[in-house]
Amino acid sequence: MTPEGYCQCGCGQKTRIATKNSKSAGQHKGQPLRFIDGHSLHSTSPVRRITQGDQHYGWKGNDALPQTKRARAQRRYSLGPCEICGMAGRDRHHKDGDEGNNIPNNIAILCRRCHMSVDGRIHRLGREWHPGPQEPKSCRICRRKYKPLRKGRCAACEAYFRNHGKEWTPKVKTTKKRHQGPIDTLIARRGGFSAALKNR
C-alpha cells in the first residue's frame, strides 16, 4: 500500500495538495491528491504518459512534414543571440540542410538576415526582385516609351480608357502633297526657308 501524499500508481512521486473540492476527481481541499497528473491505477507504466517524441504512438520520424521537423527544433532549442552577428536570434538553422537532424552540433541560432545569407536566399531574392534598371517599353496604343505600363498602356492611354470605356485610337496624319510654286522651288534650292531669308 502506497502511503498518503504519494502517487497511488506506484511511481513513488509526491503529489500536490488539492486547492478545491471536486467529487468527480475525488479531491478534498487541503488534502494531497491521489495521483500525479497523467498517472492512474490503469496506467500500463508507472511513469507519466509521453505525449511527444519518438515514444509517442503517432511518431513518424523522418517521414514527417518539413514544418513538423522545424517545429521539433523550435521546441527543443531556445533562442539566444545570433552566432554570426550577435543580434537577437530568430531562427534555428540546420547546418547540414536536413531539417530532421536536430542534434545540438547541427543547430545554429541565427538572426533572420544571417540565416537568409547562409542559406543563399538573400542572393536569390535580390536577383529575382531586383534584376536591375529596366528600359521603358512602348505603349501598345500610342507607341510612346513609358514605364510602368498598365496592361500594355501608358498612363495617358490608361486614363482615357478609364474615362471613356474604350481604347484611344490615334489619328493618322494624312498630308496632301501641295502644288509647288516658284517660291517653294527657290526655298528648296537654297537649303530651306531660313537659309532663303538669310540670302535675300
Judge if 124 and 138 occupy the same domain: no
pLDDT for 44 equals: 47
Average pLDDT, the chain: 77
166: helix, strand or coil: coil
Total tally of structural domains belonging to the chain? 3
Residue 38 included in any domain:
yes
Judge if 86 and 119 occupy the same domain: yes
Judge if 69 and 90 occupy the same domain: yes
Instruction: With a cut of 60, say whether residue 68 has pLDDT above it.
Output: yes
Judge if 40 and 89 occupy the same domain: no
Structural domain boundaries enclosing 159: 134-169
Smallest CA-to-CA distance from 22 within 6, 33, 13 is with 33
Instruction: With a cut of 60, say whether residue 167 has pLDDT above it.
Output: yes
Judge if 72 and 117 occupy the same domain: yes
Q: Are 10 and 1 in contact (CB under 8 A)?
A: no
Residue 180 included in any domain:
no
Count of residues making up the chain: 200
Residue 119 included in any domain:
yes
Share of the chain above pLDDT 70, in %: 74
Name the grid cell of 151: 496592361
pLDDT for 192 equals: 54
Axis-axis angle for helices 112-119, 121-129 (nearest 10)? 90
Residue 108's pLDDT band (boundaries 50, 70, 90)? Answer: very high
